[in-house]
Amino acid sequence: MPEKTSPNSASHKVHSGIKRGLLAFALVFVFALLAGQASAQQGSGENSGAQNGKAAENAAQPDGREGFWQIILDSGPVGLVILLLSIGGAALVVEHVIHIRAKVLMPSGLADKVRETLKTGHVSQAIQECQSEPSLLSYIIQSGLAEIDGKWTSIEKAMEDATAEQSARLYRKVEYLSVIGNLAPMLGLLGTVIGMVMAFRDVSTAQGAPQAKELAEGIYLALVTTVEGLIVAIPALAAFAFFRNRVDQLVAETAQQALHVFTPFKRSRMGGERSR
What are the two backbone dihedrals, phi and then psi, of residue 171, each rounded to the nearest 5 degrees? -65, -35
139-177 pLDDT, tens digit each: 999 999 998 888 888 888 999 999 999 999 999 999 999
* Residue 1 placed within a domain: no
* Residue 2 placed within a domain: no
What confidence tier does 242 reach under pLDDT thresholds 50, 70, 90?
very high
* Residue 205 placed within a domain: yes
pLDDT of res. 105? 93
Alpha-carbon distances, residue 63 vs 58, 70, 115, 221, 228 (angstroms)? 8, 10, 64, 20, 20
26-53 pLDDT, tens digit each: 554 555 445 444 444 454 444 444 444 4
C-alpha to C-alpha distance for 159 and 139, rounded to whole angstroms: 9
* Residue 123 placed within a domain: yes
Per the rule left: phi > 0, alpha: psi between -120 and 50, beta: everything else, 150 is beta
Split into its structural domains, the chain has a count of 1
- Which residues have C-beta within 8 Å of that of residue 271, sequence separation ≥ 6? none
pLDDT of res. 47? 44
* Residue 129 placed within a domain: yes
251-263 pLDDT, tens digit each: 999 999 999 888 8
- Name the residue range of residue 189's domain: 7-275
75-97 pLDDT, tens digit each: 788 888 999 999 999 999 999 99
Q: DSSP label at 4?
A: P
C-alpha to C-alpha distance for 99 and 247, rounded to whole angstroms: 11
* Residue 228 placed within a domain: yes
Expressed in angstroms, the distance from the first to the final Cα of the chain is: 27
* Residue 150 placed within a domain: yes
* Residue 44 placed within a domain: yes
